[in-house]
Chain A
Amino acid sequence: MFNMILKIGVILALAPVGMMYLTWAERKVIARIQDRVGPNRVGLYGLLQPLADGIKMLTKEDLVPEGADRLCHFLAPILIVVPALFLFTVLPFGPGLVAAPLTTGILFFVAIGSTQTLAIFMAGWGSRNKFSLLGAVRNAAQLIAYEVPLVLSLAVVPMVVGSLNLTEIVEAQRAGIFLFTPWGLTGFLLILITGLAEVNRTPFDLPEAESEIVAGFHTEYSGMKFALFYMAEFLSTLAISALGATLFMGGWLGPEIIPGWLWVALKTFLLVFVMIWIRGTWPRFRIDQLMGLAWKVLLPLSLANLAGTAAWVLIPGWQGTLLSLGLSLGTFLVTTQLWLAPRPHLPRQWVKSLDEEVNIWESK
């Protein structure tokens, strides 16, 4: 019993602290990418900035718009943070250092993670604001589109390991981490991309696209509730990075110079850095590009990766490796061509409008 309370205490204490310093790290890295300095006034190197932000959020008025569904509006920020915290219960931080060693670890992670969609939809619908609703609908469309390739690309790991338990998956990587196999690399990249989409980060931040729909689903939230949405987003970012580090980068495995949990932390922060780096580089997708990428490239690619993994397992030696690599690369090349390559003919409605334009000029 005491053991359980200790575990709960550790997760609930460390996760918010990690999230707070993730906001700091994000602002610092983005600033450096843009040749700025970033927060540096509150404390040494701005290290107390998250605390100052927290105090500021706490003292802001909590607004509930008129005509809102008050229950939905109140519950949404709570129901988005709780699953984000739940994600950390199945992640192993060392041999035996896992809060709940479920045999269905991966499945639990995905199932809990996807309930956040519901909370976001509650927020959008409950606010009774057009921007919020638009953001929520976009979010739902995006999440269901990226859920499929995410789940399919996660399935390759149990195919090789024969278990859904995250601890066993890490142990199976003692011989060599999965990142250095062709199917592992494909799966890792797929998880990185779909993970970005799942936590609504740039370039997939359409549900909260400032330039189009103000702040998306959290337009009508202020003060602490607004902060909770951010907390959930950053917690999920941490969790999905930790999942990627566990599944493909060997979790706590590494030279024994530093303890295992530090390896997990290092690998997680490496992935978080990549996510921030991507945010500092790529512009936001358009909604048709977003759906196109998910359904036309990532989904076929994750299906091909399943086949590639099967080939890698059944055909030992370099032939299996080559086949797996060829399947992934080939699918990527073919699907991107089919998706993006210019068509020989313009779509009909463009042709029509062009004709009309020509006629206008001729009549003058």
Chain B
Amino acid sequence: MRIYGLELIRGLGITLWHFVASYTVGIRRTFAHRVRTQVRQRPSENGVFTVQYPEERLAVPERFRVLPVLIFDGKENEKWKQATERCTACGICAKVCPPQCIWIVQGKSPEGKPIPKASEFYIDVDVCMNCGLCAEFCPFDAIKMDQTFELGSDERRASHIFDIDKLHVSTDYYARTHPKAWAEEEAKRKAEADKKAAAAAAGKAQG
């Protein structure tokens, strides 16, 4: 035989504790404001776990990805130039893109000869499915996935086709948002450059 209804009362105790803790723990967290916006609360913890989004933000993980961006060598706030542009208009990204949302026009030199630079580059961000294949396949580290996710707008046709001006971000910006990936890429590039230099030196010595 067992007495019915006791667990109902125990449940009331649990919810009451949550109710109280949401105030007591919450006060402590208010003073530890910075910690709270960086670390998501663990399930074992009590207290309010709401992040007041527009005012408070959680740091996104480095590999968090939304839309592709084009990289140029330069500082933040700098405008991209054809000279600093990394893209060579090879078109691999457009070919691997599963929903086919990338459109590239190859640049021409003043004489009319095609050059390895893109003069127009469009991404339809409504079609893009954020898979990141373009960034995976790019042989020149020219297209990368960005973390900007606040893309709301009140117009959904022209402004949702990103052109080459809108897509370009500097290497400094990328280094800031993706410090780990940037360091790895730089190390790799350096190793390759060293190897090339060594090979060139060896060739010179032989020749």
Contacts and interface: CB of A to CB of B under 8 A. Distances in A.
A192 to B, nearest CB: 12
Given A32-B22, A336-B4, A340-B4, A37 B50 contact: yes
B19 A33 contact: yes
A34 B5 contact: no
Nearest to B41: A35
Interface string A271-293: 00000011011100000000000
Interface residues of B, number: 21
Interface string A307-344: 00000000000000000000000000100110011000
Interface string B19-40: 1011100000000000000000
Contacts of A36: 22, 48-50
Contacts of B16: 277
A34 B18 contact: yes
B147 interface: no
Interface string A71-106: 000000000000000000000000000000000000
A33 B19 CA distance: 4
B11 A341 contact: no
A29 interface: yes
Given A277-B16, A277-B19, A281-B12, A35 B3 contact: no
A282 B11 contact: yes
B5 A336 contact: yes
B19 A341 contact: no
Contacts of B47: 35
B5 A32 contact: no
Interface in B43-75: 46-50, 52
B8 interface: yes
A32 B49 CA distance: 10
Contact of B23 (A32, A34, A277, A280): A32
Contact of A32 (B4, B8, B19): B19
B15 interface: yes
B1 interface: yes
Contacts of B21: 35
A33 B50 contact: no
B15 A337 contact: no
Interface of B: 1, 3-5, 8, 11-12, 14-16, 18-19, 21-23, 46-50, 52
11 contacts: A29-B19, A32-B18, A32-B48, A35-B22, A36-B50, A37-B50, A37-B52, A281-B11, A333-B3, A340-B4, A341-B1
Given A32-B23, A277-B15, A336-B4, 8 more contacts: A32-B19, A35-B46, A36-B22, A36-B50, A278-B12, A336-B5, A340-B4, A341-B1
